[in-house]
Structure 1
Amino acid sequence: MEFRGSSVYDQTDFFSNYMKRRNRQDSPNNAIEGPIMYELMGSIQNNSILDLGCGDASFGKELLHKGAKHYTGVEGSKQMVEAARSNLLDQNGTTYNETMESYDYPIETFDLVTSRFAIHYVSDINQLFQNINKTLKEDGRFVFSIQHPLTTSSFASKQSGDKRGNWIVDDYFLDGERKEPWIDQVVVKYHRTIEQYFLALRQAGFTILDLREGTPEREHFSSEEEFVRRQRIPVALAFSCVK
């Protein structure tokens, strides 16, 4: 069976196993992608923030503790939304059980829109980026991360298991659906080149300020072995943009 969008996170066993992996200190989310996102966001004091594909909103809780004025999370998985609402109890945050595609984007409302490792689940990024541009205030910022296109081009190397020692890069310039074996399920993601992301952002009216490919830093890893392994291929790509 194949799962699209956030639907896989409503599978109980998958959800449990994913959360264990996600919370490991050396997971790509914590050791690579997280530090980049905070660097690219910079100051968020008094910002009204929209987070697309917010998961359990632990990120939103951190943003509020760092000085954000209000946090809005959008998440398609019911199980994730339940966890998010628990995390945001007594916080100035709201969570909507909507997908990035179905959410009704209010006009010129947010200072910052974020998304972490989620946009590669969306089939139409042109419409998504236009909606994000519409919902940002003038000079509002859009900071997001995705799986690096070198890793989404082909999942053939995952035949050897999730902890790959080698990576196959193939069909890089053929964009579209990719089916990834992941935590005993198959999830559908969408591969695009870096150039395609760049052009879609430009066409939606954004100026790209910065880009990161997730260069590993030793200080973020507890394991020397994992740090060395992560220097072999980029797993994250992050953009910082302004309206």
Structure 2
Amino acid sequence: MKQNKYDEAEFFGNYCQMARSTQGLKAAGEWHELQTMLPELKGKNVLDLGCGFGWHCRYAREQQARSVFGLDLSENMLQRAREMTDDPHIEYQRMAIEDIDFAPGQFDVVISSLALHYIERLDQVYAKINACLVQGGTFVLSAEHPIFTARAEQDWHYGPGGEILHWPVDHYHEEGQRVANFLNQDVVKYHRTLATHLNELIQAGFVIQQVAESKPSPEMMEQIPGMRDESRRPMFLMIAAVKA
């Protein structure tokens, strides 16, 4: 299934009001960690899968990437990305991640930020990503953490006064579809265990280089209300891997 909630007017309107939509990477809670996992981008050909507003595409060019190709299924996302981009070395195209079919070795680096939890058959996508990378090329991804996706409710357990008690985890090993509420809409996501994420990358021909589980920066915990609770469980999983 190729879900495209971002081209629905109400959903996209809600998304546009999020801090990461208005302020970019500096408002993305995981960016301070994900940024350190990226390889040297200077002179590299970069692919961004699920590029959204193009924040990572423009960052790659700021780091002197040779070329950047941003891909997204949502026309709304791509329209906003084009409006925010003035760079002939960045190209945007509408395409589902599942449909990628690039030439072998076309890219040096592939990035995907918070898009892969919408995809059912990640093993197939990982194989396609491996094929389009040069030997020794790097794949860096972020996705919702398995602790976060295990329950479709994706919410804290609250006490009688509405206070946060803990983050419940259940049905962890029951992989597959979850219908979660995100931006006041039902959204289909796919839960897979941490082991499945890693093993499918290995089976696709990658060597795992680094794994990180998101936690807020000290600055965010001081400046953003409620951010301290985000350190009580990881919301995002980040992996850096290279083509073997």
Q: Which residue of 2 aligns with 1:198?
A: 198
Q: Secondary structure at the match of 2:17?
A: helix
TM-score by length of 2: 0.89
Structure 1 pair 218/159, CA: closer, same or farther in 2 (3 Å)? closer
Q: Which residue of 2 aligns with 1:148?
A: 145
Greater alpha carbon shift after TM alignment, 86-95 vs 52-61: 86-95
Is it true that 1:120 corresponds to 2:117 in the alignment? yes
Query: Runs of 5+ in structure 1 lacking a partner?
Result: none
- Percent identity, aligned pairs only, is 29
Greater alpha carbon shift after TM alignment, 95-104 vs 115-124: 95-104
Q: How far apart in 2 are the matches of 1:143 and 1:191?
A: 19
CA RMSD across the alignment: 2.5
Deviation at 1:61? 1.1
Greater alpha carbon shift after TM alignment, 143-152 vs 163-172: 163-172
Q: How far apart in 2 are the matches of 1:202 and 1:32?
A: 27
The correspondence of residues 90-105 of structure 1 with structure 2, limited to 5 A, is: 90-105=87-102
Whether the 8 Å contact between 1:139 and 1:242 is mirrored in structure 2 is yes
- The list of structure 1 runs, each at least 4 consecutive aligned residues, that deviate by more than 6 angstroms after superposition, is 24-29
Structure 1 pair 193/6, CA: closer, same or farther in 2 (3 Å)? same
Match of residue 63, structure 2, among 66, 83, 88: 66
Is it true that 1:178 corresponds to 2:178 in the alignment? yes
TM-score by length of 1: 0.90
Deviation at 1:158? 3.9
Structure 1 pair 203/29, CA: closer, same or farther in 2 (3 Å)? farther
Q: What is the aligned length?
A: 239
Q: Which residue of 2 aligns with 1:240?
A: 240
Match of residue 44, structure 1, among 41, 44, 48: 41
Whether the 8 Å contact between 2:156 and 2:167 is mirrored in structure 1 is no
Query: Runs of 5+ in structure 2 lacking a partner?
Result: none
Whether the 8 Å contact between 2:154 and 2:180 is mirrored in structure 1 is no
Deviation at 1:227? 3.0
